[in-house]
Amino acid sequence: MSKKLLLKDAHIEGIRYFETYRKQGGYTAAEKALKMTPDEILEEVKASGLRGRGGAGFPTGMKWSFLAKPEGVPRHLVVNADESEPGTFKDRYLMEFLPHLLIEGMLISSYCLGSNTSYIYIRGEYSWIPDILEEAIEEAKAAGFLGKNILGTGFDLEIYVQRGGGAYICGEETALLESLEGKRGNPRLKPPFPAVKGLWERPTVVNNVESIAAIVPIIDITGAEYAKIGVGRSTGTKLISACGNINKPGVYEIDMTITVEEFIYSDEYCGGIKDGKKLKACIPGGSSVPIVPANLLLRTVNGEPRYMNYESLADGGFATGTMMGSGGFIVLDEDQCIVEHTMTLARFYNHESCGQCTPCREGTGWMYKILKKIEKGEGKMEDIDLLWDIQRKIEGNTICPLGDAAAWPVAAAIRHFRDEFEWHVKNPELSQTQNYGLAHY
Ligand code: SF4
């Protein structure tokens, strides 16, 4: 059984409220942190090996150490709660059930970074959660953990919740900052990075909800102890939101030492494939990472078991780095049609492209059109090659990672499931009435 650090109290009734959270030991990590110096906290975060839980997996301590500290210029912490990646809903769970864990993590992090005004930018569709967060903020303030001169330390902190308008692109950190400033959420060219010129051109750290929540156990048990959980550079615990054709969809906390097979088939986690069907493929880290066929998902190309961690999900000749991504684990059974699935994703990225870069704006539209044509049985063989060519021209040629995120699922689908694309081309009548999965199993 995986060790629980973030969700250990999630089952306790009333844990959403300050009184219950405090009774369970809540805010003791903050009390401990406020007796430390900011540099000591930074060293603990570095020692923990925590990697950003939003998708990129960049070391949090290193990110914090890049924060510029010019004299007299305010700094900010911005929590990225714009969780819009298809298949990802673990931050929603944290904010809905454990809002004080996030507030406590923000208090410790803001103190470490020197931010007296911090923000939670939350996606517009999570319409009921800002009220939960604002209630928690008020409770924390009434108990002296927010506001002026917190616990007599002289440190002041205000936290504001800002609702987004429902644009996926605002999960990209610079688009988020633009939106927070009241502008259209277009990603900025980098450099300068937010650590130097972020919110209102001030030094800013943007971190995911889960990353900031993880600061609480890191301070509680120390960075060194946190680093002992997990394996290699995949330290601590990770929240995974599992969905698709499984028996037990939900949010799970894993310690990154379990295998992918155990995660899918164990009753402790996904509980196996629904209706006893066969596993076909999985997207292990939200829709922006490539789809992985079952044979490569459970075992590496060398035949080793594949583990639920950053390193093990990074090898095997995949198109990108780590596949842990945002922790959105989408399982597809044998009946699913990869062409239809890829078309759905292409439509999503085309809709969500901000339109600044030509390869992304035009390329996502063309990929969607061609996929739609193939899926309807109206495609030609050369359309598959054209699709491949378009995704190659998007990858690496755009301002922000949305372009790559749109290209990778198409690349992986063609690489691993080219036979399904060809089936649609060769069987125009059948592909109008049946999907490939149902026709083949
Ligand atoms: Fe906008 Fe797409 Fe360019 Fe990102 S890659 S800036 S979403 S057009």
- Give the pLDDT confidence score for residue 63 in this predicted structure: 97
Atom 1 in ligand 1: residue holding the nearest Cα: 354
Q: Length of the chain in residues, anyone?
A: 441
Q: Is 350 in the pocket of ligand 1 (CB under 6 A)?
A: no
pLDDT (tens digit per residue) in 310-354 = 888 875 444 445 677 888 999 999 999 999 999 999 999 999 999
Q: Is 406 in the pocket of ligand 1 (CB under 6 A)?
A: no
Q: Is the ipTM of this complex over 0.90?
A: yes
Q: Is 355 in the pocket of ligand 1 (CB under 6 A)?
A: yes
Residue 285: band (very low, low, confident or very high) from pLDDT cuts 50, 70, 90: confident
Mutate to test the pocket of ligand 1, among 190, 349, 357 (most ligand atoms within 8 A of CB): 357
Reply yes or no on whether the pLDDT at 2 is more than 80: no
pLDDT (tens digit per residue) in 190-212 = 999 999 999 999 999 999 999 99
Q: Per the structure block, which two tokens stand in for 199?
A: 């919110």
> Averaging pLDDT over each range in 318-322, 355-359, 425-429, which range is the top one?
355-359
pLDDT (tens digit per residue) in 77-131 = 999 999 998 999 999 999 999 999 999 999 999 999 999 999 999 999 999 999 9
Determine which of 138-147, 368-377, 432-441 has the lowest per-residue pLDDT on average: 432-441
What mean pLDDT is reported for the chain? 93
**361 C-alpha to center of ligand 1: Å?**
7
- Give the pLDDT confidence score for residue 320 in this predicted structure: 47
Q: Is the dihedral of CA 90, 91, 97, 102 positive or negative?
A: positive
pLDDT (tens digit per residue) in 231-269 = 888 999 999 999 999 999 999 999 999 999 999 999 999
Q: What amino acid occupies position 215? A: I
Query: CB-based contacts of 435: which residues, under 8 Å, 6+ apart?
Result: 335, 336, 337, 340
Q: Is 401 in the pocket of ligand 1 (CB under 6 A)?
A: no
Instruction: Give percent of the chain with pLDDT exceeding 70.
Output: 96
Do 1 and 10 meet the contact criterion of CB atoms below 8 Å apart? no
Determine which of 105-109, 290-294, 395-399, 435-439 has the lowest per-residue pLDDT on average: 435-439
